[in-house]
Amino acid sequence: MEIGASSACFYPLETERSLLHIAELGFNHCEIFFNAHSELRPAFIKELKTVKDAYGINVVSLHPYASFGEGYDFFSAYKRRFSDATDNYKRYFEAAAILGAKYIVMHGAAKLYDIDMAEYAHRFGIITDTAKSFGCCVAHENVVNFLSGDPEFSRYMKSRLGDSYKMVLDIKQARRAGHRPEEFIEIMKKDIVHVHLSDYSEDADCIAPCEEGLFDFESLFSLLHKSGYAGKYIIELYSDGYERKREITQSAKYLDAILKKVRQG
């Protein structure tokens, strides 16, 4: 399947068991969402790699569990904390190198902690340069109630960092923030490198993508295709967004068919 899945879909199941679920459901691509500091131990990363290799899964991205604290850690006036946090994230970069993951997903700050946006962009540039030295890329995700939830944040970061600024587009987060995915795509175009998918209904704002859902995936795929998007699409849900694991596989098949139609013109 061209559509992948995030281990976050099975939270709070342990990360290694979530990855095994993804493998057993037949997915070829995945995101691994880490949920504890101990999961960055070399022995644990080796365990994940064993599963990945056994099933031939492409690990597209890694998602740090402490994203809620990235504003305080990376983007406050206390520079030593920024330095320490960057060193700490090197463990994710090392894990990415071992697992073959290209992207590290960052939420960034919910507000500015006594620094201005120019300093924010400067520090993000340092983080991305550090990641590059390990062969991976840090990509900023749009998240409701975070600075990145506003498309103008992406416009500013792009103006400061140019092509080195990459983005993860999460369609549910865009909707929650009152924005359309198209607003981010117009600004970022080919520098969107990773996309998180989910659907919604009149009763719930995050469900497994399906024909009964309200999101227009064909329009999304068409717009991204025209913009030159070359990344993977990853289903990222909450465990209350579906009832049975097979619904995630059904979602992937549903989305695969739409994606194939768009690519064939």
CA distances (Å), 135 to each of 50, 104, 106, 171, 245, in order? 21, 11, 16, 27, 33
Model confidence band, residue 158 (pLDDT cutoffs 50, 70, 90): very high
Q: In terms of Cα–Cα distance, which of 118, 113, 177, 116 is closest to 143? A: 177
Would you say the C-alpha torsion 91, 92, 97, 99 has a positive or negative sign?
Answer: positive
% of the chain surpassing 70 pLDDT = 100
% of the chain surpassing 90 pLDDT = 96
135: which DSSP letter? T
User: What's the pLDDT score for residue 157?
Assistant: 98
**Is the confidence at residue 25, as pLDDT, over 90?**
yes
**Is the confidence at residue 265, as pLDDT, over 90?**
no
Average pLDDT over residues 155-162: 98
CA distances (Å), 149 to each of 106, 113, 177, 178, in order? 12, 17, 6, 9
What is the rounded average pLDDT for all residues in the chain?
A: 97
**Least confident piece of the model among 142-146, 182-186, 241-245:** 241-245
Would you say the C-alpha torsion 73, 101, 146, 128 has a positive or negative sign?
Answer: positive
Average pLDDT over residues 253-263: 97
Q: How far apart are CA 141 and CA 226, in angstroms?
A: 21
User: What's the pLDDT score for residue 60?
Assistant: 98
Domain containing 202 equals 4-264
How many domains does the structure of the chain reveal? 1
Q: How many CB atoms lie within 10 A of CB 228?
A: 10
Q: How far apart are CA 94 and CA 48, in angstroms?
A: 13
User: What's the pLDDT score for residue 124?
Assistant: 98
CATH number of the CATH domain containing 98? 3.20.20.150
